Amino acid sequence: MSAFMNPEQAVADRSAPTAQPRQRASDIRARGEPFTWALGGALGVGCLMIIGFLLMVFWNGVGTFVPKPIAVVTTTGGEITAGEATRTELYRPTPEVVAALSEAARQTIADRDGFAERTLYRIGNFDFYSEDFRWVSAFDVIDVKYPKDIVLVERTEWGPFIGHIESIAVDGEVIALDSVHDPRFAEAHAQARARWSQIQDIERHQIGAVNYRINQQRLTLRRIELKDGRDSQAYSETKRAADAETAELQSEYERLTEQAQALRQRNAGMTVTLEELGGREKTIGIDEIVRTYPANDLSSSEKISIYLSRWWEFLSDEPREANTEGGVMPAIFGTFAMTLLMVIAVAPFGVVTALYLREYATQGRLVAFVRISVNNLAGVPSIVYGVFGLGFFAYVLGGSIDQLFYPERLPNPTFGTGGLLWSALTLALLTVPVVIVATEEALSAVPRSMREGSLACGASKWQTIKYIVLPRALPGIMTGIILAMARGAGEVAPLMLVGVVKLAPELPVDGLFPYIHLERSFMHLGFHIYDVGFQSRNSEAGKPMVFVTTLLLIGLIFVMNISAIVVRNRLKKKFVGSQF
């Protein structure tokens, strides 16, 4: 019975001579070090790629708004090109081009194996040149100058202008300007812009609100008409009230239009004449100018102030010029609102599902099947969710909501088309597996001793879950929600089908009842990147915007995640604590 060894015998065993002493030094393969190095190396490469990518985005994004000097380049043909140098590269000129060159230039190219250098200049003045960018080959360049009097004018139309400000006209009086620093220009510009923003406010907001109320009257009337018919007492009563109200609103509308017209009139009298380097002139309203600066004559503090004001414009303004200029405020807002709404939808749904699967369902084949299906859902291409969201949420669900609650607006869809709510729900569907898996894991990590302690106190299963299991699992659940949020905020493909648009005139939240408009389509930073980078007139013009917007999107996701992580760590400290 005894498995114990006799001590003497054991000693004898150990000292017994063996014919071939076993080798003691361990083989390097046995220690597995090369394997460890390979793993570490792979990790290193992965990290480097990610860090490199982030650095590139950061560097390009941060540099975009720095005011750059304007070079005036004279080329062999006597042609003059003025613009910001954006990048320089090597290319292979065609043989005909090379043949036409001077001996020395040919030699340089031959020395470089047929490659020549060229620089891309952002030349602006699209209205004159019909192009934004121009390549200048190094062998063509005769002379590069940086004249101090050249200015860059950012306009609300036609992109930037590069050249000189000739004169301004205020109410018919022409004032010739000899310096870009002339205070009379600054003063006129400030006045015109102030009026311009007033016009914007009137036309966009005040008239918008009046229009909205007129429309409300029409819809109320239409609702009554659908319900009681045209000949009913209620209809004629409502119609009378609505007509009176509409007439009042109409006069308000006219008053506002007049006001805007008056301001416009005053601004029309204030123009500025610009001259490009080739001598062609153009006269535009002063209020069309966003900002001007002498690009080659800036002090550091002026540069910083231009840099910051461009950032501010980017963050707080609406886009203009097919999204390649101006700001992205609606997109920031849309991304944030959609992500928030998605979290509100996905968190309870995912947690409840996981609770049922883990705590209540009998662990059998069916549950295993459900679990596998949920995990596989995470692998479905996101565009499929988009199709589903459009088909089910927007057309079926939204269509029925329209039939039931908004019949007066038909055939114009209210909820029956893509919108903020459907986007959030589609993404919630897309990310719910993440939450379920994380929650299940968190629930199963709650120590058995805690549950038993609670049950032994006479708590029911639900009380145990409510008081003990859920609080304890909350940090893990939060992790799942954070992951879902990160995934959802960066998703674009399905949104293109269920509610994201290139340009949304109205934010989903505004001052008009019911204040939050879940049915509205919205802008999204991810889609904005796609649109600006690949759908605009000139992708080169949009490139800086792509980087800044990417930086912003990464920053937004980063901030949302960090806040969620801070909350999670608080919870962890509170509920998990240290067991002695």
Closest separation in Å from C-beta 483 to another protein: 23
Nearer to another protein, 184 or 466 (CB): 466
Closest separation in Å from C-beta 453 to another protein: 4
Q: Per CB under 8 A, does 580 bind another protein?
A: yes
Binding mask 520-539 for another protein (x = CB under 8 A): --------------------
576 closest CA partner among 478, 472, 480: 472
Nearer to another protein, 23 or 449 (CB): 449
Nearer to another protein, 192 or 470 (CB): 470
Q: Per CB under 8 A, does 577 bind another protein?
A: yes
What is the Cα 199 distance to its own chain's centre? Answer: 28
Strands 270-275 and 161-170, bridge-based pairing:
antiparallel
DSSP code of residue 393: I
Stretch that binds another protein, among 40-48, 205-213, 405-413, 463-471 (CB under 8 A): 463-471
Nearer to another protein, 60 or 463 (CB): 463
Q: Per CB under 8 A, does 364 bind another protein?
A: no
Stretch that binds another protein, among 55-63, 103-111, 417-425, 459-467 (CB under 8 A): 459-467
Among 467, 513, 534, 558, indicate the residue that binds another protein (CB under 8 A).
467
Q: Per CB under 8 A, does 172 bind another protein?
A: no
Nearer to another protein, 16 or 456 (CB): 456
Sign of CA dihedral 503, 204, 421, 442: positive
Q: Per CB under 8 A, does 460 bind another protein?
A: yes
Stretch that binds another protein, among 270-278, 344-352, 443-451, 485-493 (CB under 8 A): 443-451
Among 25, 456, 511, 514, indicate the residue that binds another protein (CB under 8 A).
456
- Beta-carbon-side half-sphere exposure of residue 220 (alpha carbons within 13 Å): 17
Stretch that binds another protein, among 331-339, 374-382, 442-450, 479-487 (CB under 8 A): 442-450
All residues at 6 or more sequence positions from 125 whose CB lies less than 8 Å from its CB, including other chains? 158, 159, 160, 161, 162, 163, 276
Among 21, 172, 458, 511, indicate the residue that binds another protein (CB under 8 A).
458
Q: Per CB under 8 A, does 34 bind another protein?
A: no
Closest separation in Å from C-beta 452 to another protein: 6
136 closest CA partner among 212, 80, 70, 201: 80
Closest separation in Å from C-beta 213 to another protein: 50
* CA 411 – CA 407 distance, rounded (Å): 8
Sign of CA dihedral 18, 20, 25, 26: negative
Closest separation in Å from C-beta 462 to another protein: 10
> Token match 């192009």: residue?
131
> Token match 């991304």: residue?
335
Among 455, 483, 507, 565, indicate the residue that binds another protein (CB under 8 A).
455
Q: Are the C-beta atoms of residues 485 and 560 closer than 8 Å to each other?
A: yes
Among 189, 310, 472, 487, indicate the residue that binds another protein (CB under 8 A).
472
Q: Per CB under 8 A, does 453 bind another protein?
A: yes
All residues at 6 or more sequence positions from 205 whose CB lies less than 8 Å from its CB, including other chains? none
Q: Per CB under 8 A, does 367 bind another protein?
A: no
Q: Per DSSP, which regions of 30-150 are E strands?
A: 71-75, 80-91, 116-122, 133-137, 141-145
Total binding residues toward another protein, as defined by CB under 8 A: 26
Buried b (16+ CB within 10 A) or exposed e, 34-67: eeeeeeeeeeeeeeeeeeeeeeebeebbeebbeb
Closest separation in Å from C-beta 326 to another protein: 51
Identify the burial level of 225 via C-beta atoms within 10 angstroms of its C-beta, where 0-12 means exposed, 13-18 middle and 19 or more buried: middle
Nearer to another protein, 3 or 16 (CB): 3
Q: What is each CA distance from 43 to 37, 39, 49, 486, in whole angstroms?
A: 10, 6, 10, 22
Closest separation in Å from C-beta 440 to another protein: 18
DSSP code of residue 500: B
Residues at the interface with another protein (CB under 8 A) = 363, 447, 449-460, 463, 467-468, 471-472, 574-580
